[in-house]
Structure 1
Amino acid sequence: MRLSRMSKALGAAAALALALSACSGGGGTSGGSAQSSGDPNKVITAYSNEPQNPLLPANTNEVYGGRVVEMLFEGLRTYAADGKPVNALADSIESSDSQNWTIKVKQGQKFTNGEAITAKTFVDSWNFAALATNLQNNSFFFESIEGYEDVSATTKSTGADGKTTSTPAPKAQTMSGLSAPDDQTIKVKLVQPEADWSLRLGYSAFFPLPSEALKDPKKFGENPIGNGPYKMAKDTGAWVHDQSISLVKNADYKGPREAKNGGITFKFYTDPGPAYTDLQADNLDVTDVLPSNALKTYTTDFQDRNATKPVASNSTLNIPGYNPNFQGEAGKLRRQALSYAINREEIAKVVFNGTRTPSKAFAPPVIDGFKADIPGSEVLKYDPAKAKDLWAQADKIQPYDASKPLLIGSNTDGGNKEWVDAVANNFKNNLGIQSEIQPFAKFAELLNVRKSQSLPGLTRAGWQGDYPSLYNFLGPVWATGASSNYEKYSNPEFDKLLKDGLAAKSTDEANDKFNQAQEVLFKDLPGLPLWDQNRAIVWSNNVIKAETGWNGQIRYFDIQAK
């Protein structure tokens, strides 16, 4: 951690969610790795898919849009390959009480259109992101700042169909706890002390935006102007929808993630099979999504051109609370039955060839504070007899509606079909119910259906860490009203434990509260933890080397082309 000054209050919790106990990888505190003889002007091509939304940092909370936004923008901080925070646009981040923060912004920084980046730029960008009427997916990340409740306020109404909808009704336009007394200084007051708050400042929700983005966000999102290691390839046409997004090196960028190649072209695939073939033919340079049938051969297919390591990323099978089959006491028993019916160990071994590890909790082992024996986590064990018994108990309370197969929503562009089929077979064999995949060609399509709360069955879900914290795998996914809580799970006890953890004064105390919060999740089972990722990537003969960071995202700026 490179902070020019650090208070004692922060020091006790500086390690909160920082240490990645099992994560390896290159990169020091500068966020990059040693230079070599690669071609600094050559453009590399990378696997991706169509982003869900226009490319606004605070509205992008899925991986395909996120990997582009991360390359186009730079925030106050970034993260080294091992997850340690590195100051980028921040000269210093200080607090004496973990509630009142003073951030000094580096001077002379500009967007690629020449507009200066000042403290006010961040204040305006964060207020824009938090304001309810701007409908930014990541507004939840600003909940800790005083005044957030006023700018994010909504009114609720119930329609004739019984569904509750929320309408933006902000009581204020700006957060009272956020100000810029001069061009270099950001003042932040939180609702309560949170020792790890500054750790979040490398996440994309906190990136700065130029003034034109705030005036016309929809137009800006199609052709964003940033301040990161790359910029859009040209004024118009860099994003060819359903085909590709082209970025080129930003020659004016001087931060900790300086590009070692000439640009990135993200090529969109709806099936990882053709992408793998393109890689073998050197028509694609790098991918982090492998077809299931290649998981047993990728190390020999790409000898000396592959890498695998445990990362901060996991997968779950979410159970919408609006599904009548999984409500009430009968629904609770069925959720448990589904979990006991899944042979995670066999699927991880046979389908994923060891590139997944069966989950022991709602967070992966590489995150500091991970606990493998949380009360209630025994539900993750494979026990078909117990699964059948629980299912029968549920039927005595409320018969299961078997008029239609239990569908499992999943995108087919990420190599998911094989494991979904395996889970569906577990349900058929162990519970005697028909189950099958509900396929979506694009990840964005699945997210949109989840967001509209119109899933007929279950859905695959996953989480790639935004910043290295146990809280990050709980709050944004399961807290009431959270940005990625698409299935609308809500439990006041869970929310309170999260709040108590954020206010803790020590790492151990905070993680203890977060793990208590996981006990609540294991009682309710809004989702079933499946497996944690050992992220595998491969690259072409056009590339010297590639690597992933702490959360599994490829460090595109570090890729050196031949």
Structure 2
Amino acid sequence: MKISQKLLFLPVLILFSSIVSTAVNAEMVIHRGNGAEPETLDIHKSTGVPEANIQRDLFEGLISEAADGSLIPGAAESWATSEDAKLWTFKLRQNGKWSDGTQVTANDFLNGFQRALLPATASEYAFILWPIKNAKAISKGEINDINDLGVKAVDDFTLEIALENPTPFLTGLLSHHMAYPVPVAKIKEHGKKWTRPGNLISNGPYQLADWKPQSKIILTKNPHYRDHDAIEVDNVYFHPIEDKATELKRFRADELDITDDVPSDQIAWVKKNLGDAFRNTPYIGTYYLAMNLEQAPFKDNLALRKALSFAIDRNILTDKVTKAGELPGLGWVPPGMNGYTSQTIPELALEKKERVALAKKLYEEAGYSKDKPLEVELLYNTSENHKKIAIALSAMWKQTLGVKVSLRNEEWKVYLNSRSQKQFQLIRSGWIGDYNDASNFLDLFRSDVGTINPSGYKNQNYDKLLKQAEIETDAKQRAEFMQSAEKLLLADMPLIPIYYYTTQHLLNPKIKGWEDNVMDIHPTRYLAK
């Protein structure tokens, strides 16, 4: 029996209607490579870029970032400063909400600052907030009353921050995750588990939906965020992929919209075949090696530290190994910092033959030779790109000086623990500017910042110069104090600069709203596809 044409038409119409409805209601999803599994999402416990990428979507400080990385009002709609620039008053938005719908108040920010600085929190990043009055003394346990901190909630929507000295980079500092608010009631309720799905509430554009370790972290739009309706991406997946070759394969298979990085040995191929997707831009950061000054062989052996640095051909590393337009690292603070001229190590400007001869001479002065070679271990976090650099460095030291290098790689969380506990001799590291000011780089090597100082470097004159820079109100004189400090740091050589970063990403050409910037900040709230 034949089926009636009328009976056939109705299901087709229903099917067509269903397809249209699905297309209209389809959620927009973006998949982002994140480099590594986050050590934590606790804003006061994290120290790395993989964590900051996610926290920037979850939380919002008084100051936020635009798509191009510039600073804009965040949870605060406006602010004013006193005549001496030591008291800042912030007016919070009255429509600021946590993801559970409760009001974001000045007390939430006060609680955040206090928790960040309490010695019991043991935050490695506490020094970021030291410009605030009494912040350093509190974090060091020299002042026991947390209420002495120069932060005051005047009312629900007014926050005052008193400073030790005028701080021209304060707005940049307040966009950092150390200055985010915290839901103190949730922390009291759940303890260390407050950052788990179902427990974590956030005040930013997104909320935590799921976290499957070593697989993915899923964020969904915060329905209570003030600009909720203007945000186009409904869900963002952060994928921890340490192997860059795997990440490239997943991008080519349309499993990722954005990669964290690009394998250095594939950059030429990527440029040729995926040129419309390749993004390569300058980045305020320095790739370097830190030497453990608390133990042999680098403790009290400046000649050895210099010998290893001078034996490196940085041009070969950037031209033949990294191959992404990086600049050879001749100093610590990268070029391009606001109001600052970066300093360099004079010997690195020597002709190669002369520089190598000096390296050999210093190596012998340090007590080593090809008959009595240095044996040293280099630690790096798991990454094919880091591995290639480590192998290249090992080969250069072996060929030039006869050094025997053993390599040790650890996944991100383990590596961070080894770094903070000084369980290394020589370690690969990198520092990315939290805000565009040279002090953010120089403060890392102060003797009083704790375990985040990678080498355990201590020099009272260095600390004194940075202290003078802190209280100096003349911009030119302040820069001169910092430049003198950098010269001293480079002369003492607790680190070996390798190169100044650029960033490499692969970006799905369908992605809209991405803006390249030197901070490499790309909040999901501005993206769409």
- Which residue number in structure 1 is paired with residue 362 of structure 2? 390
Pairwise CA distance, 1:532: 0.9
1:313 aligns with 2:285: yes
Distance 2:107 2:80 in 1: 18
Distance 1:479 1:93, change over 3 A: farther
Distance 1:81 1:478 in 2: 32
Pairwise CA distance, 1:395: 1.2
Pairwise CA distance, 1:351: 0.7
Q: Secondary structure at the match of 1:246?
A: strand
- Which residue number in structure 2 is paired with residue 70 of structure 1? 56
Distance 1:83 1:377 in 2: 33
Distance 1:520 1:425 in 2: 29
Within the candidate set 128, 131, 154, 1:144 is matched to 131
- Which residue number in structure 1 is paired with residue 430 of structure 2? 462
Q: Secondary structure at the match of 2:385?
A: coil
TM-score (norm 1): 0.83
Within the candidate set 487, 491, 494, 2:459 is matched to 491
1:121 aligns with 2:108: yes
Distance 1:400 1:140 in 2: 43
Equivalent residues in 2 for 1:44-59 (5 A)? 44-59=30-45
Please list every run of at least 4 consecutive aligned residues from structure 1 whose deviation after the TM superposition is greater than 6 angstroms.
Answer: 399-404
Distance 1:400 1:225 in 2: 59
Q: Secondary structure at the match of 1:415?
A: helix
Q: Secondary structure at the match of 2:174?
A: helix
Contact 1:280 1:540 in 2 (8 A): no
Within the candidate set 285, 295, 298, 2:257 is matched to 285
Pairwise CA distance, 1:547: 4.2
The residue type equivalent to 2:53 in the other structure is R
Equivalent residues in 2 for 1:62-211 (5 A)? 62-95=48-81, 96-154=83-141, 171-211=144-184
Provide, for residues 267-304 of structure 1, a one-character-per-residue CA deviation record: whole Å limited to 9, x for no partner. 12231111111111112211131112112222123131
Distance 2:273 2:446 in 1: 39
- Which residue number in structure 2 is paired with residue 10 of structure 1? none
Distance 2:370 2:292 in 1: 16
Distance 1:218 1:377, change over 3 A: farther
The residue type equivalent to 1:452 in the other structure is Q
Pairwise CA distance, 1:341: 0.6
The residue type equivalent to 1:299 in the other structure is K
- Which residue number in structure 1 is paired with residue 498 of structure 2? 530
The residue type equivalent to 1:151 in the other structure is I
1:435 aligns with 2:405: yes
Q: Secondary structure at the match of 2:167?
A: coil
Pairwise CA distance, 1:142: 2.0
- Which residue number in structure 2 is paired with residue 447 of structure 1? 416
Pairwise CA distance, 1:385: 1.3
1:212 aligns with 2:212: no
Distance 1:86 1:361 in 2: 31
Within the candidate set 217, 225, 232, 2:208 is matched to 232
Structure 1 runs not aligned, ≥5 long: 1-37, 155-168
Identical columns (%): 24
How many residue pairs get aligned? The number is 499
- Which residue number in structure 2 is paired with residue 517 of structure 1? 485
Structure (1/2) with the larger helix percentage: 2
Distance 1:380 1:525 in 2: 16
Pairwise CA distance, 1:414: 6.0
- Which residue number in structure 1 is paired with residue 19 of structure 2? none
Distance 2:171 2:499 in 1: 29
Contact 1:464 1:552 in 2 (8 A): no
The residue type equivalent to 2:434 in the other structure is D
Pairwise CA distance, 1:72: 0.3
Q: Which has the larger radius of gyration?
A: 2
Distance 1:202 1:400, change over 3 A: farther
Distance 1:519 1:302, change over 3 A: same
Cα-Cα RMSD: 2.6
Distance 2:340 2:267 in 1: 27
Distance 2:361 2:177 in 1: 46
Distance 1:404 1:529, change over 3 A: closer
Q: Secondary structure at the match of 1:208?
A: coil
The residue type equivalent to 1:148 in the other structure is A
- Which residue number in structure 2 is paired with residue 221 of structure 1? 195
Contact 2:68 2:521 in 1 (8 A): no
Distance 2:522 2:377 in 1: 32
Distance 1:341 1:126, change over 3 A: same
Structure 2 runs not aligned, ≥5 long: 1-23
Q: Secondary structure at the match of 1:41?
A: coil
Equivalent residues in 2 for 1:24-35 (5 A)? none
Distance 1:137 1:542, change over 3 A: same
Distance 2:219 2:500 in 1: 31
Q: Secondary structure at the match of 1:395?
A: coil
Distance 1:183 1:371, change over 3 A: same
